[in-house]
Amino acid sequence: MDIETINRIKSNPKYQKLVATRSKFVWKLAIFVFVMYYGFILLLAYLPEVLGASIGSGVMTVGIFVGIAIIVISVITTGIYTKRANSEFDKLTAEIKKELKESENV
Amino acid sequence: MFKNFMAVAFVATTLLADALEAGLAQGGVNVPAVVMFLIFVFATLGITYWASKRTKTAKDFYTAGGGITGTQNGLAIAGDYMSAASFLGISGLVYLKGYDGLIYSIGFLVGWPIVLFLISEQLRNLGKYTFADVASYRLRQKPIRILAAFGSIAVVLLYLIAQMVGSGKLIQILFGLPYEFAVIIVGVLMIAYVTVGGMLATTWVQVIKAVLLLSGATFMALAVLAYYNFNPGELFAEAVEAHPNGVEIMSPGGLVSDPISAISLGMALMFGVAGLPHILMRFFTVADAKEARKSVFVATGFIGYFYILTFIIGFGAIVLVSTNPAYLDEFGNLFGGDNMAAVHLAHAVGGDLFLGFISAVAFATILAVVSGLTLAGASAISHDLYANVYAKGTVDEKTEMKISRIATIGIGVFAIFLGIAFENQNIAFMVGLAFAIAASANFPILFLSIYWKRLTTRGAVIGGSLGLATAVILVILGPVVWKDILGNAEAIFPYQYPALFSIVVAFVSIWLFSVTDKSDQAKLDREAFEAQDIRCQTGIGAEGAVEH
C-alpha cells in the first residue's frame, strides 16, 4: 500500500468514523465480558457464600443461575457484535472501498 | 494420489481388524461401538478421498482454499474445541463435585467473545495460513516466525500427548481394544485425513464430529430432563438427595481455593484460547472478515450450549448412575473412573446401542481434535520454518506442500511414539501448560502486533520468549510437576497455574524492550504499522478477500 493510498484512506471521514465507533464498541463489550467474568471469579474467591445462597424453598442456588447466565450472556454478546458489524461496520467498509476505487479511477 | 490413499485406507482397516481380533481375544469388545465407529471411519475416509481431489495448491492444503462458510467453520471450531476431555472430563467433574464443574465450563467459554472482539477478523484480514503470518506482518520475518512456530509446536505437542494418552485409555475402556493399538489407530487415521485431504478433510471430520457429539449430548440431556417432567428443579432436588455431599453440590466447593489461583486459571483459559494455533488457523479457511465473525458467533453458541448440556448430563449421572449398582465397583466408585459418568449415563438412558453410539462419538472426537492439531503443527514447520525462514519465501508451492505432508507424517509418528511412552505418566499438567504457553507467548505477540504501533521486533522476540520461559519454568517448579511428579516435599512456586505471572512478564517485557528500542529495524517496524492497520480495519488488500 503506497503512502498516497494510506493518506487518502486515513483522511476519509468514513474511515475515521469506522475506526472510532468500532473500537469504542469493541472495547465496551470486551470490558463488559472482563468485568462479568472476573467479578464472578472474585466472588468465588472471596464471597462463595453469596453464590451458595439458596433461592426460594428448593435446593436451587444463586450460583447456578449466575453460572448459566454467564454462559448465555457470553453467547449473546457475540451475537450483538456480529449483528452490528454485519450491518453498520460492513456498510461503512464497503463505502470506503468504493470511494477509494473511484478516487483511483479519476 | 489414489494409490497412496488406498494404501493408507488398507493399513487403517488392517490395523482395526488386528485390534479387533486382539480385543476379542481379551474378551469384552463393545460390538455396537466398533460397528458405529467403523461407519464413521469409512465415511470420513470417503470424504478424505473426495477432499484429496480438491486439494491441489498450498492454499487448499492449509486453508481448504478459503472456501469454508462461516457456519461450517463455526461448527468445525466447536468440533476442534469440544474435546473428549471436555465432554467426559467436565461431566465427570459435575458428577463428582456438582457446581465446580460449571466453573470450568465458564472459563473455557469466556475466551470466545474476546477472540471475536479482538482477533478473529484481524487475523482473517492480515494472515494467510498461520498466525505467524500476522505476527510477522510488519516485523522482521525470521526471528518472529521462529518464535511463533516454536510456540505453536510446543502447544501442539503438549496437547497431542494429552489427547493421545487420553484416547488410548478411553478406547481401551470403551472398545476393549489394547492401549497401543488404540494409539496407533488414532495416529494412522489422523495422518490419513491430514496428508491426503488437508484442511478440507480435517474441517469435515470436525463438522461431522461436532454434529454427532451435539446430537448425542442433546439426546442424553433431554432423556435426563424427561425423567423429571422437564423441571430442572426436580432434577437438582433429586441429585442433592443422591449425592454424598448433599446440598453442597449446588454451591462452589474447593476447586478455587485462593484468589491468585482463581484469577490465574481464569486468565490462562481466557487468553489461552486466543493463542491456540489450531484454533487461530481456522480463521484462514473462510473468505472474509464477515464469515470469520460469523464463525465465532456460531462456535460460541454451540460451545455454550454444549457446556449447559454437560452440566445437565453430570447431574443426570448423579441421579441415574451413582444410584445404580450395575455401574459401581465394590467401593461404590464408577467403573472406569469418574470420567466415565457420561458414558454410563448413555447406557442408563439409551441401552447398549446408545452406549455404542456415544463411545464411537468419543473416538471420533479424539480423531477430529488430533487432526486439527497435527495440521497446525505441520503448517508451523512447513510454512513458517521451512518456506519462510529456511527458504526465505522463495520455495514453490509443490515443495512446500510436500514438506507439509512429510511434517504431518513426522508429527503423527512422533505423537504415536509419545502416546505410548507417556502411557503411565502423570500428564495432568500438559493441557494447562499448553494453555499457559498459548496465553503468555502466542497471544501477547499476536495481540500487540495488531494493536500497538510501537511494538518492535526486539520487544516481541525478547518479551515473547520470556513469557514462554516463565510459563514453562513456573509449571516445572509448581505443585504438580515439582511436588507430585518429581516427588519433592514442597513446591518452589506455590501456585498450580502460572498464567497470571507469565502473561504479566510477557506484556511488561515486550513493552520495555520495544519502547527502549532505538534501532533502524524498530523504525521500520513502526513505520509499517499504518498500512497494516488500514488493511486490518478494512480488509483492503487481504489475502483471499473477494474483490468487487
| 3-state secondary structure at position B328 | strand
The stretches in chain A having pLDDT less than 70 are 106
User: Please, which pLDDT band fits residue B19 given cuts at 50, 70 and 90?
Assistant: low
Q: How far apart are CA B396 and CA B249, in angstroms?
A: 59
Between the CA of residue B255 and those of A9, A41, A50, B60, B94, what are the distances in Å? 52, 12, 16, 44, 12
Q: Where would I find the H helices in B243-388?
A: 259-273, 277-280, 289-320, 341-379
- pLDDT tens for B427-451 read 767 888 899 999 999 999 999 999 9
CB A61 to CB B296 under 8 A?
Answer: no
| 3-state secondary structure at position B478 | coil
Residue B210 has pLDDT above 70, yes or no: yes
Q: What is the mean pLDDT of residues B406-425?
A: 92
Pairs across A and B, CB distance < 8 A = 160
Q: How far apart are CA B283 and CA B51, in angstroms?
A: 19
Mutant choice from B538, B547, B548 vs A, greatest count of A C-beta within 10 A: B538
User: Please, which pLDDT band fits residue B13 given cuts at 50, 70 and 90?
Assistant: low
Q: DSSP letter at B395?
A: -
Q: Using CB atoms, which residue from A60, A82, A86 is nearest to B233? A: A60
Q: Note whether B284 and B127 are within 8 A (CB).
A: yes
For a pLDDT cut of 70, what percent of chain B falls above it? 93
Q: Note whether B487 and B424 are within 8 A (CB).
A: no
User: Please, which pLDDT band fits residue B318 given cuts at 50, 70 and 90?
Assistant: very high
Q: Note whether B22 and B177 are within 8 A (CB).
A: yes
The average confidence (pLDDT) of chain B is 89
Q: How far apart are CA B354 and CA B343, in angstroms?
A: 9
Q: Note whether B284 and B66 are within 8 A (CB).
A: yes
pLDDT score recorded for residue B174: 82
Cα radius of gyration rounded to whole Å, chain B: 23
User: What is the nearest CA distance from B166 to chain A, expressed in angstroms?
Assistant: 27
Residues 6+ apart with CB under 8 A from A64: B99, B102, B236, B250
User: Please, which pLDDT band fits residue B546 given cuts at 50, 70 and 90?
Assistant: very low
CB atoms within 10 A of CB B24: 14
* Residue (of B220, B223, B213) closest to B361 by Cα position: B213
Q: Is B432 left (phi over 0), alpha (psi -120 to 50) or beta?
A: alpha
| 3-state secondary structure at position A2 | coil
pLDDT score recorded for residue B261: 84
Between the CA of residue B414 and those of A20, B84, B383, what are the distances in Å? 48, 21, 19
Alpha carbons within 13 angstroms on the beta-carbon side of residue B298 total 20
User: What is the nearest CA distance from A63 to chain B, expressed in angstroms?
Assistant: 6
Mutant choice from A59, A62, A103 vs B, greatest count of B C-beta within 10 A: A59
Residue B256 has pLDDT above 70, yes or no: no
Residue B112 has which C-alpha cell?
A: 470466545
As to burial, measured by CB atoms within 10 angstroms (0-12 exposed, 13-18 middle, 19+ buried), residue B442 is buried
Q: What is the mean pLDDT of residues B23-28?
A: 55
User: Please, which pLDDT band fits residue B548 given cuts at 50, 70 and 90?
Assistant: very low
- pLDDT tens for B191-201 read 999 999 999 99
Q: How far apart are CA B520 and CA B510, in angstroms?
A: 18
Q: How far apart are CA B296 and CA B548, in angstroms?
A: 25
* Residue (of B343, B335, B315) closest to B224 by Cα position: B315
Hey, which residues 32-91 in chain A have their CB within 8 Å of chain B?
33, 36-38, 40-42, 44-46, 48-49, 51-52, 54, 58-61, 63-64, 67-68, 70-72, 74-75, 77-79, 81-82, 85-86, 90
pLDDT score recorded for residue B547: 37
Q: How far apart are CA A81 and CA A89, in angstroms?
A: 10
pLDDT score recorded for residue B281: 95
Sign of CA dihedral B89, B93, B99, B104: negative
Residue B228 has pLDDT above 50, yes or no: yes
Q: Note whether B442 and B148 are within 8 A (CB).
A: yes
Q: How far apart are CA B356 and CA B353, in angstroms?
A: 5
Phi, psi of A54 (to 5 degrees): -90, 155
Q: How far apart are CA B543 and CA B127, in angstroms?
A: 7
- pLDDT tens for B83-129 read 887 888 899 999 999 998 898 899 899 999 999 999 999 999 998 89
* Residue (of B285, B234, B245) closest to B68 by Cα position: B285
Helix (H) or strand (E) holding B136: none
Q: What is the pTM of this model?
A: 0.91
pLDDT score recorded for residue B257: 67
| 3-state secondary structure at position B68 | strand
Neighboring chain A residues of B259 at a CB cutoff of 8 Å: 41-42, 45-46
Alpha carbons within 13 angstroms on the beta-carbon side of residue B123 total 31
| 3-state secondary structure at position A105 | helix
Q: How far apart are CA B474 and CA B188, in angstroms?
A: 35
* Residue (of B275, B238, B286) closest to B159 by Cα position: B275
Residue of chain A whose Cα is closest to the Cα of B99: A64
Q: How far apart are CA B55 and CA B35, in angstroms?
A: 30
Residues 6+ apart with CB under 8 A from B122: B134, B450, B536
**Distance from the Cα of residue B226 to its chain's centroid:** 32
Q: How far apart are CA B318 and CA B246, in angstroms?
A: 11
User: Please, which pLDDT band fits residue B545 given cuts at 50, 70 and 90?
Assistant: very low
